[in-house]
Amino acid sequence: MKKMLLEHKGKFILYIFASLFPVIRQLMQIVVISLIFETIERNSMTFFKTVILISIGFLLINAIMYVASRLMQISYMRDVLLSLRIKAFDKIIHLNHKEFNKKSRDVYVSNLINDVNTFENSFFVSLINFIFRCGIYISTLTILAFINWKIATIIFIVSIIVLLISRFFEKKTVSLQKDVSIANEKFTVDTSNVFSGLEILKLNNIENAFLNKNLHQVNDLESRKFRFNLYTSLQSYSNNTIGYFVLVGLVVFLMYQTQVGLGYGMLMLTIQLTSSAIFPLVTMLPLLNVLKSSKAIYEKITSIEEHDASEDNLLPFDFKNRITVNNVCFSYDDKSILNSVNFTLEKGKKYLIKGSSGSGKSTLFKLLSHVLDDYEGEIVVDGINMNLISMKSFNEKVSYIYQDVYLFEASLKDNVSLFKAYSDEEVIHACKKAGLEEFLNTLESGIHTMISENGKNLSGGERQRVSIARALCKKSEIMFVDEATSALNDELGEQIEKTLLQLDSTVIAISHKYFEGITNQYEVVFEIKDGQIAKFDGKQYFSEATI
């Protein structure tokens, strides 16, 4: 977090300076009030007029300093929060597919919204107050040391005691803040699930059951917030109690001093300085604990896992000839899915994976696409073990086409290029090769036509062709196709499958559909049954099978 704060070093210095403006304002206020009491003692109209002019000057300076400090603080806060959001989003975006899928999408949404808001509300408020309290404590203690060294020494000893008390509260404060963050994640996930499945809930009259579950999550979240706020308040109360006792004792001591010649002005100055040293002190250290809990939130949403950082040590994906699967076994819990399977994928060929539901088709897909790595045996790409290959490099050269295609609310070009710097010519060429030429001719703005949210203004076939165009624009060497035509009518399904089979890329597809004269063009069919994989020539397989 230190690095983030110092990214904008100039503004950070101004931020600290601006946070110290209130120190100057409070010291000026102490002086003005002391002068007013001095006026009472002197009973001089000339001195009274001088104090009035000083007070007016103080009010003007106070207003100017307040506006200036807020402008400098807000400017820096904006830059830091922008940097934090970018770092948090960048961490999520650059997670590999396997790591990304370990958590619900709604957890990431909670990180970007709830955790960032928590950081903003707790960190900056605490930081401003911490800097101010440090400044007022140091300045008033220094002045007191010149006025009355005994009082300054007492306050310094009290500060040591308060520091020890605050250390006692530190770990629990950080822990409670983390609990709030986790509860926020759970609440976001549950709420999203309710809204996503609301139609099903209503049709089955089970809204109340889910409402009760959601209310339980709300109660849990608010309870955790309450515990955090109560704990921090308890810490502040403990410190404030110490501060009040010390202040009362010092005031009694100072009242005694008036009997030995201490003037009203000096008395009020000393009391105000004493109060300004004690109470910032007792609240300053609890704020430090809140800052540490904010640091924990920052690290949670921005820190890169060790295995992600090790990507640089892995080898690039370079598929030239073949991918070989040697004696691969895979199990979910105690259930064996694949048992010592062996086969080879050759570059440029078209492969179809068949099998009954639950036979292991999707598992094989995930093994070949580098998503699962906890298997026995080995998968070798031109002599290099798959586990030694960088996931990032692998993803740069492969594409995935699923039944459900997600389209962004952006131009057709952006949806095909995925916001990368491809030229118009490259995007148009990919669209035509994916079978979108006729569709393009109907668009007044061509590839710059806006696509509505998730492609609502496109047909199912057009959406699938956009996903194929993405892969072609990316020049993907391997295309993983998972039931891409299952939700389409036969005419559209035939067109999509025909397009896939005409591509230069290696195609590995899962499909239950059969299109006469098209599906039999797959060169190899892998059939999974009882954990084993049988290999067939595509034309022979479909000529012998009962369709």
Residues 391 and 371 in one domain: yes
CATH of the domain at 68: 1.20.1560.10
Instruction: Give residue-wise pLDDT tens across range 166-186.
Output: 677 767 777 887 788 777 777
Mean pLDDT, residues 306-330 taken together: 79
pLDDT at 4 over 80: no
List beta partners, residue 536.
525
> Are 332 and 279 in a shared domain?
no
Higher pLDDT, 445 or 126: 445
Greater confidence (411 vs 74) lies with: 411
- Specify whether 248 is located in the same domain as 382: no
What's the average model confidence in pLDDT over 256-285?
65
Please determine, for residue 380, whether its predicted confidence score (pLDDT) is greater than 90. yes
The yes-or-no verdict on residue 247 having pLDDT over 70 is: no
For 59-62, which contacts have Cβ atoms below 8 Å and span 24 or more sequence positions?
Answer: 61/25, 61/28, 62/25, 62/28, 62/29
Q: Are residues 300 and 379 in the same domain?
A: no
List phi, psi (to 5°) of 269: -60, -45
CB atoms within 10 A of CB 469: 26
Look at 210 and 479; give whichever has higher pLDDT.
Answer: 479
pLDDT digits (tens, 9 = 90+) for 322-346: 999 999 999 887 788 899 999 999 9
When pLDDT is averaged across residues 83-105 and rounded to a whole number, the result is 73
Distances 431 to 283, 434, 457, 466, 500 between C-alpha atoms, Å: 63, 5, 17, 7, 13
Same domain, 373 and 463: yes
pLDDT at 306 over 60: no
Count how many Cα atoms sit within 13 Å of the Cα of residue 311 in the half-sphere of its side chain.
Answer: 15
Final residue before a domain boundary, out of 310, 344, 375:
310
Give me the pLDDT at residue 98, please: 65
- Write down the pLDDT at residue 512: 82
Q: Which pLDDT does position 467 carry in this prediction? A: 84
- Answer for the pair 137, 281: CB distance below 8 angstroms, yes or no: yes
What average pLDDT does the segment 297-316 reach?
68
Domain count of the chain?
A: 2
The pLDDT > 70 percentage for the chain reads: 82
Q: Is residue 458 part of a domain?
A: yes
Tell me the mean pLDDT in the region 383-405: 85
Q: Check residues 235 and 349 and name the one with the higher pLDDT.
A: 349
In a domain, 39, yes or no: yes
- Mean pLDDT value of segment 129-143: 81
- 363/371 Cα distance (integer angstroms): 9
Cβ atoms of 451 and 457 closer than 8 Å:
yes
Q: Sign (positive/negative) of CA torsion 20, 25, 30, 35?
A: positive
384 and 263 share a domain? no
pLDDT score recorded for residue 243: 64
Coil, helix or strand at residue 482 = strand
Structure tokens at 39: 């006026």
Distance CA 298, CA 93 (A): 17
Alpha helices in 258-369 (DSSP H): 264-302, 306-309, 361-368
Q: Is residue 326 part of a domain?
A: yes
Q: Are strands 376-381 and 532-537 parallel, antiparallel or unpaired?
A: unpaired
Residue 315 forms part of a structural domain: no
Tokens at residue 290, please?
């809140």
What pTM was estimated for this model as a whole? 0.57
Per residue, the 3-state secondary structure of 95-154, as one string, reads CCHHHHCCCCHHHHHHHHHHHHHHHHHHHHHHHHHHHHHHHHHHHHHHHHHHHCHHHHHH
In a domain, 473, yes or no: yes
Residue 74 is assigned to a structural domain of this protein: yes
Residues 390 and 273 in one domain: no
Any domain includes 316: no
Strands 376-381 and 322-332: antiparallel
Q: Is the pLDDT of residue 261 over 60?
A: no
| 399 neighbors 476 (Cβ within 8 angstroms) | yes
Single-letter amino acid code for the residue at 271: I
Residues 403 and 476 in one domain: yes
Average per-residue pLDDT for the chain: 79
Higher local confidence (pLDDT), 350 or 129: 350
- DSSP 8-state symbol, 456: T
Cross-strand bridge partners of residue 350? 507
Residue that terminates a domain, selected from 310, 335, 352: 310
Give the pLDDT of residue 322. Answer: 92
8 A C-beta contact, residue 158 and residue 242: yes
pLDDT attached to residue 547: 46
| Residue 97 confidence (pLDDT) | 64
* DSSP three-state, residue 123: helix
Of 310, 333, 357, the position where a domain reaches its end is 310
Sign of CA dihedral 148, 154, 158, 160: positive
Please check whether residue 317 lies inside any domain of the structure.
no
The pLDDT, as a whole number, for residue 323 is 93
- One domain, residues 403 and 259: no
Mean pLDDT of all residues in 219-237: 79
How large is the average pLDDT for residues 42-64? Answer: 82
Q: Are 88 and 235 in a shared domain?
A: yes
CATH label of the domain that carries residue 534 = 3.40.50.300
Q: Looking up tokens 């807000």, which residue turns up?
A: 74
Q: Which domain does 126 fall in, by range?
A: 2-310
299 and 327 part of one domain: no
Same domain, 273 and 333: no
